[in-house]
Structure 1
Amino acid sequence: MNFQKLKYAVVVADSGSFREAARRLFMAQSSLSTAIRELEEEYDIQIFERTKRGIFITEEGSEFLSYARDVLSQVSVMENRYLDANQKKLFSISSQHYDFVSEAFAILLATDEEHTHHYRLLETSTTHVMENVKNAYSEIGILYMNAYNQKVIKQYLNHNELQYTEMGTFQPHVFVGINHPLADRETVTQADLLAYPSVTFEQAQGSSAQLTEEALDLAEESTQATIYVSDRATSINVLVKTEAILVGTGILTSPFRDMMRTIPIVDAEANHMIYIQNKYRKLSAEAEHFIEILADQLTDVIDVAGDEPA
C-alpha cells in the first residue's frame, strides 16, 4: 500500500480539483493525475469522475476515501509515537458539550509542570466523539448513555473495537437562566418543560436520532421551538437571555453556575456518564491523569461508579 498516494487522493477530494490539489502538494498536476490513476488501477475502482466541469467523487470513491482517511490517521499516530522522540506528543479528548469536562481540561493544563505535550479538547457531536476515538484522533471520548441510546452506542463501540468505562450516574436536570420562570423551583417534571423553547446541540448529518446529546427528547410533545446550537457559549447566552431550557447532567463546575440554575427532573430515568477508548490501547499517563481529575470533579455531584470497562 502506498500511503503517499492515499494522501494525494484525500487532498484532491478536499481541494475539489487536481489543479488546486497539485498547488497544495507542491507538485506538477500531471504527476498528481498519474499517481491517482495508478491508485485507481491498483484497487480496480474509479475514485473520481473527471468532467469538463471538474471532478466528482464516485460512490465507490467516497467509501474508499473514508477508509483512506482512517488509514492515514493511524499512520500519523504511529509516526508521532515512534519516529520523533523529541517532538511533543499530542493528548486529545473528544466530548459532548460538558462544563465539567472543560474545567477538568483546564486543571490538566495547569498541573502540567514538564510541558512535554500539546493538548486538544474537541466539544462535538455524539457521532464525532466516537469516530474521533475510533480513528485515534482523540485518545478518549466523554459521553452519556441511557436506556434510549445504549443499544446504538454499544453496537458502534463493539463494531469498532472500542470499550467504555462508567464514571457514574446522574439524574437529568434542566438548565435555565436565573430569571427564568422555573428558576425558583426545587424540582420539575417533563410536563413542566413543554411550555418553553428547548436548546439542543446540533448532531452530525445523518446520525441516528438516538444519538441526541440531551438526556430527554421533548421535541415530539412540545409545541415550542427547538433552538439548535453547536457550542456551549451560544447555548449559555440563549439560556441567560431567553426563557429557553436545556436538558443535561445538571453539573456546573465553572463560574457559569452563577448565571444559571439547574433543577432535577423528577420523572426522568437516571443516565450513565462514560468514557470510551480503544479496546487494545493502554491509556497514556495523561489520559489516566485527566480521568482522575474528572472523577474528582464529579465526586460530589454524581453517584460514582466502579472503574470496570465494558
Structure 2
Amino acid sequence: MEYNQLKYIVEIVESGSISKAAQVLFLSQPNLSSQVTQLEKEIGRQLFIRGNRGVTLTKEGIEVYHYAKQVVSQFELTKQKLLNHISENKIKIASCGCEVIEPAFFEVCKVFNQMNYEFELEYCNIEQCIEKLGSQEVDVAVIPYTSLQYKKLDQFLINKNLCMQEIFTGELKVHVSEQWELSKKAKINKGDLRGLVHVKKNILFSGMFSLDYEMRQLGMEFCNKSLVTHQIKTYEAALAHLPSFAITPEWHCNLEVNSYLKRIPFAGNPISVTIAVIKRNNEVLRKEVLYFLEQLKRYK
C-alpha cells in the first residue's frame, strides 16, 4: 500500500468518478483503474461498485475512504507547514460560537501583540472542532455539550486521544427578542412556541452532536418551520424581525452578552449544558493558550 493509492481513493470519491479523478490527478483512466485494482487485491476488499454513472463505495470502501482521508489531510497539513514556513507564533482556536469566547480571545490578541503573530478564531460544530484538534490544525477547541451528549462525546474523545476540562455550566434556554410578547413569560411551555419560526445556529444543529435529540426530549419535534443561520448577525436579525425563537445554551457566568435577547427557561426539567476546553493528551499548552484559558475562567 502506498500513499499515492490512498490519495487516488480520496480523489475518486470526491470527484464522483474515475474519469474525473484521472483528469485532476493527470493520470490516464486505465492507469488509475489499475492502481485501484491493485489496492483492492492487496487488502482483499472491493472498494468501489462501478456503474454507468460513476462509482459508489462499498461498505468496506467507506471505511477505507475515511482512513485514507485522514492520512491525506494530515500529509497536506504537514507539507503546508514545512514548505510555506508558517509562523510558530500562529495561535488558532476552534469554537462552537459561545459568546464568552470572543472577549477572552481578544485579550490574548492585546497581550501577545508582538510582530509576526497571527491569531485565528474558527467557528465550527463540535465534531469539526474535535477533528481539527486531532489533526493539529488548532491549538485547543472550546465546545458546549449537553448532559445527554456526555457519554458519546467522552468515548469519541478517548478514541481520538483527546481530553477535556470543564469551564462553565449552564442549561438550554429559549432566546426571544424583547419586542415579542413571548419575552414577558417567566417560563416557556412547548405550546407557547407553536406557529413560530425556530431560528437555529448551524454549528449547534449539524454533525453527530446536533441538538436535534435534545429538541425531541423537550417535546419540540413539532417545529417544522425553521431558519438555519451561519452568521451571528443573521441569527440576531432573524430573532428581531420574525415571530421566532431559538434554543441555545445559557451560561452561568458573569459576562453579559446579547442583553436585548431574553433568556427564558423551559417549564419542567432543564437540560444541563457544559462548556469545556479540549486538548490533546499529554501536550503542554503554549503560554498564549494558557492565558486564553485564564481569561475564560475569569468569567466564572
Q: Normalised by the shorter chain, which TM-score bucket?
A: 0.7 to 0.9
Q: Give the structure 1 partner of residue 177 of structure 2.
A: 177
Cα 1:144–1:53, aligned 2, differ >3 Å: closer, same or farther?
A: closer
Deviation at 1:39, TM superposition (A): 2.7
Kindly indicate whether the alpha-carbon contact (under 8 Å) linking 1:108 and 1:290 is maintained by their aligned counterparts in 2. yes
- Structure 2 distance, partners of 1:282, 1:78, is 20
Q: Give the structure 1 partner of residue 147 of structure 2.
A: 147
- List runs of 5+ in structure 1 lacking aligned partners: 305-310
Kindly indicate whether the alpha-carbon contact (under 8 Å) linking 1:200 and 1:226 is maintained by their aligned counterparts in 2. no
- Structure 2 distance, partners of 1:99, 1:213, is 21
- Structure 1 distance, partners of 2:159, 2:74, is 17
Deviation at 1:95, TM superposition (A): 2.6
Q: TM-score, normalised by structure 2?
A: 0.77
Q: Give the structure 1 partner of residue 156 of structure 2.
A: 156
Deviation at 1:165, TM superposition (A): 0.6
- Structure 2 distance, partners of 1:56, 1:235, is 37
Q: What amino acid is aligned across from residue 149 of structure 1 in structure 2?
A: Q
**239-248 vs 72-81, greater mean Cα deviation:** 72-81
Displaced runs of 4+ in structure 1, greater than 6 A? 213-216, 252-256
Deviation at 1:15, TM superposition (A): 1.0
1:67-146 equivalent positions in 2, closer than 5 A: 67-79=67-79, 83-84=82-83, 86-88=85-87, 91-106=91-106, 108-109=108-109, 111-117=112-118, 119=120, 121-124=122-125, 126-146=126-146
- Classify the secondary structure of the residue corresponding to 1:257: coil
Q: Give the structure 2 partner of residue 291 of structure 1.
A: 293
Cα 1:5–1:280, aligned 2, differ >3 Å: closer, same or farther?
A: farther
Q: What amino acid is aligned across from residue 211 of structure 2 in structure 1?
A: T
Q: What amino acid is aligned across from residue 87 of structure 2 in structure 1?
A: K
1:201-280 equivalent positions in 2, closer than 5 A: 201-202=201-202, 203-204=205-206, 207=208, 211-212=210-211, 220-221=219-220, 224-231=223-230, 232-250=232-250, 257=258, 259-263=260-264, 268=270, 270-280=272-282
Q: Give the structure 2 partner of residue 166 of structure 1.
A: 166
Q: What amino acid is aligned across from residue 275 of structure 2 in structure 1?
A: M
Q: What amino acid is aligned across from residue 245 of structure 1 in structure 2?
A: F
Q: Give the structure 2 partner of residue 65 of structure 1.
A: 65
Q: Deviations over 1:267-289 (max 9, x none)?
A: 63543211212224333444334
What percentage of aligned pairs have identical amino acids? 21
- Structure 2 distance, partners of 1:171, 1:265, is 10
Cα 1:105–1:229, aligned 2, differ >3 Å: closer, same or farther?
A: farther
Q: Deviations over 1:131-161 (max 9, x none)?
A: 3333444443222234322122112222322
- List runs of 5+ in structure 2 lacking aligned partners: none
1:44-55 equivalent positions in 2, closer than 5 A: 44-55=44-55
Kindly indicate whether the alpha-carbon contact (under 8 Å) linking 1:201 and 1:213 is maintained by their aligned counterparts in 2. no
Kindly indicate whether the alpha-carbon contact (under 8 Å) linking 2:95 and 2:121 is maintained by their aligned counterparts in 1. no
Deviation at 1:188, TM superposition (A): 2.7
Deviation at 1:167, TM superposition (A): 0.7
Deviation at 1:240, TM superposition (A): 1.1
Q: What amino acid is aligned across from residue 121 of structure 1 in structure 2?
A: E
Number of residues of Structure 1 aligned to a counterpart in Structure 2: 292
Kindly indicate whether the alpha-carbon contact (under 8 Å) linking 2:173 and 2:263 is maintained by their aligned counterparts in 1. yes
Cα 1:122–1:156, aligned 2, differ >3 Å: closer, same or farther?
A: same
The CA RMSD over aligned residues, in Å, is 3.6
- Structure 2 distance, partners of 1:15, 1:247, is 37
- Classify the secondary structure of the residue corresponding to 2:183: coil
- Structure 2 distance, partners of 1:29, 1:222, is 48
Q: What amino acid is aligned across from residue 115 of structure 1 in structure 2?
A: N
Cα 1:48–1:165, aligned 2, differ >3 Å: closer, same or farther?
A: same
- Structure 1 distance, partners of 2:20, 2:43, is 24
Q: What amino acid is aligned across from residue 59 of structure 1 in structure 2?
A: K
Deviation at 1:60, TM superposition (A): 1.1
**Match status 1:38 vs 2:38:** yes
- Classify the secondary structure of the residue corresponding to 2:244: coil
- Structure 1 distance, partners of 2:225, 2:234, is 14
- Structure 2 distance, partners of 1:138, 1:169, is 24
